[in-house]
Amino acid sequence: MAASQRSPATSRDGDSDPTSIGALVVAERLSVTVGAGPTETRIVSAASFEVPAGALFAITGPSGSGKTTLLNLLAGIDRPTEGRLWFAGKSIVGESENALARWRARNVGIVFQFFHLIPTLTAAENVLLALELGRQVPRRDWRERVTTCLGAVGMQTYAHRLPSELSGGEQQRVAIARALANDPPLIVADEPTGNLDSKNSEIVFSLLRELTDRDKTVVYVTHDQDLAGRATAAIDLLDGRVVASRGPDGGLPQ
Ligand SMILES: Nc1ncnc2c1ncn2[C@@H]1O[C@H](COP(=O)(O)OP(=O)(O)OP(=O)(O)O)[C@@H](O)[C@H]1O
Ligand SMILES: [Mg+2]
The predicted-structure confidence for 87-127, as pLDDT tens digits, reads as follows: 998 888 888 889 998 999 999 999 999 999 999 999 999 99
Is the shortest distance between the CB of 1 and ligand 1 below 6 Å?
yes
Q: Which of 36, 28, 27 is nearest to 7 (CA)?
A: 36
How far is ligand 1, taken at its centre, from the CA of residue 67, in Å?
8
How far is ligand 1, taken at its centre, from the CA of residue 223, in Å?
15
Residue nearest to atom 17 of ligand 1 (CA): 68
pLDDT tens digits, one per residue of 198-241: 999 999 999 999 999 999 999 999 999 999 999 999 999 999 99
Amino acid at 164: S
Question: Looking at ligand 1, which atom is closest to the CA of residue 223?
Answer: 25
Question: Looking at ligand 1, which atom is closest to the CA of residue 1?
Answer: 1
Angle between helices 168-180 and 142-152 (to 10 degrees): 130
The CATH code of the domain at 54-77+96-246 is 3.40.50.300
| Residues 65, 246: Cα–Cα separation, whole Å | 18
Which protein residues have their CB within 5 A of the ion that is ligand 2? 67-68
- Reply yes or no on whether the pLDDT at 250 is more than 80: no
* Residue among 45, 65, 221, 222 whose CB has most ligand 1 atoms within 8 A, to mutate: 65
The strand pair at 186-190 and 233-238 is best described as unpaired
- Per the rule left: phi > 0, alpha: psi between -120 and 50, beta: everything else, 239 is left
- Reply yes or no on whether the pLDDT at 157 is more than 70: yes
Per domain, the residue ranges of the chain are: 54-77+96-246
How many degrees, rounded to 5, is the angle at CA 59 between CA 27 and CA 175? 105
Residue nearest to atom 13 of ligand 1 (CA): 64
Q: Which of 29, 53, 55 is nearest to 42 (CA)?
A: 29
Is the shortest distance between the CB of 65 and ligand 1 below 6 Å?
yes
Q: Decide: helix, strand or coil at residue 180.
A: helix
Is the shortest distance between the CB of 64 and ligand 1 below 6 Å?
yes
pLDDT tens digits, one per residue of 42-97: 999 999 999 999 999 999 999 999 999 999 999 999 999 999 999 998 888 888 88
- Reply yes or no on whether the pLDDT at 15 is more than 60: no
- Give me the pLDDT at residue 40, please: 94
Number of Cβ within 10 Å of residue 220's Cβ equals 27
How far is ligand 2, taken at its centre, from the CA of residue 43, in Å?
12
- Give me the pLDDT at residue 16, please: 56
**DSSP run (H or E) holding 206:** helix 198-211
What is the DSSP code (8-state) at residue 165? G
